[in-house]
Amino acid sequence: MTPTPHQPSPLRSTERRNLRSAVLDLLDTVQLVDLFVAEDTRVPLAVGNARASIAAAMTLVEDAFRTGGRLTYVGAGTSGRLGVLDASECPPTFGTPPDLVQGVIAGGRDALIRSVEGAEDDPLAGARAMDTRGIGPHDVVVGIAASGTTPFVHGALEHAASLGARTVFFSCAEPPEQMVACCDVVIHVDVGPELVTGSTRLKAGTATKLVLNMLTTGAMVRIGKTWGNLMVDVQVTNTKLADRGERIVMEAVGATRIAAREAIAASGGRVRTAIVMLHRGVDAVTADAELERADRHLRPIVGDPPPVAESS
290 classed as catalytic: no
Q: Residue 308: which pLDDT band, with cuts at 50, 70 and 90?
A: confident
Separation of alpha carbons 179 and 154, rounded Å: 7
CB 290 within 8 A of CB 280: yes
Q: Please, what's the b/e burial string for 261-274 (b: 16 or more CB within 10 A of its CB; e: otherwise)?
A: bbbbebbebbbbbb
**Dihedral of alpha carbons 93, 99, 101, 104, sign:** positive
Among 82-91, 191-200, 253-262, name the one with the lowest average pLDDT: 191-200
Spatial neighbors of 196 by CB under 8 A, at least 6 apart, are 21, 24, 202
Q: What is the pLDDT of residue 295?
A: 87
Separation of alpha carbons 226 and 80, rounded Å: 27
Catalytic residue among 62, 120, 246, 290: 120
Separation of alpha carbons 54 and 205, rounded Å: 16
Q: Over the stretch 265-283, which tens digit does the pLDDT of each residue have?
A: 999 999 999 999 999 999 9
Q: What is the pLDDT of residue 113?
A: 86
Phi and psi based region of residue 228 (left: phi greater than 0; alpha: psi -120 to 50; beta: remaining): left
Reply yes or no on whether the pLDDT at 240 is more than 70. yes
Q: Over the stretch 42-71, which tens digit does the pLDDT of each residue have?
A: 999 999 999 999 999 999 999 999 999 999
Q: What is the pLDDT of residue 248?
A: 95
Q: What is the pLDDT of residue 65?
A: 97
Reply yes or no on whether the pLDDT at 202 is more than 60. yes
Domains belonging to the chain, first-starting first, are: 41-222 (3.40.50.10490), 239-302 (1.10.8.1080)
The residue among 19 and 40 whose pLDDT is bigger is 40
Q: Over the stretch 154-175, which tens digit does the pLDDT of each residue have?
A: 999 999 999 999 999 999 999 9
For residue 109, which phi and psi values (nearest 5 degrees)?
A: -60, -35
Q: Over the stretch 212-222, which tens digit does the pLDDT of each residue have?
A: 999 999 999 99
Catalytic residue among 15, 89, 251, 262: 89
120 classed as catalytic: yes
CB 144 within 8 A of CB 153: yes
**Number of H-type helices and E-type strands within the chain:** 13, 5
Helical H segments across the chain, by residue range: 29-40, 42-49, 51-66, 77-94, 123-132, 151-162, 177-182, 203-222, 239-253, 257-266, 271-280, 284-293, 299-302
Among 58-67, 84-93, 229-238, name the one with the lowest average pLDDT: 229-238
| CA end-to-end distance (rounded Å), the chain | 72
Q: Residue 6: which pLDDT band, with cuts at 50, 70 and 90?
A: very low
Which residues is 74 bridged to in the sheet? Answer: 104, 143
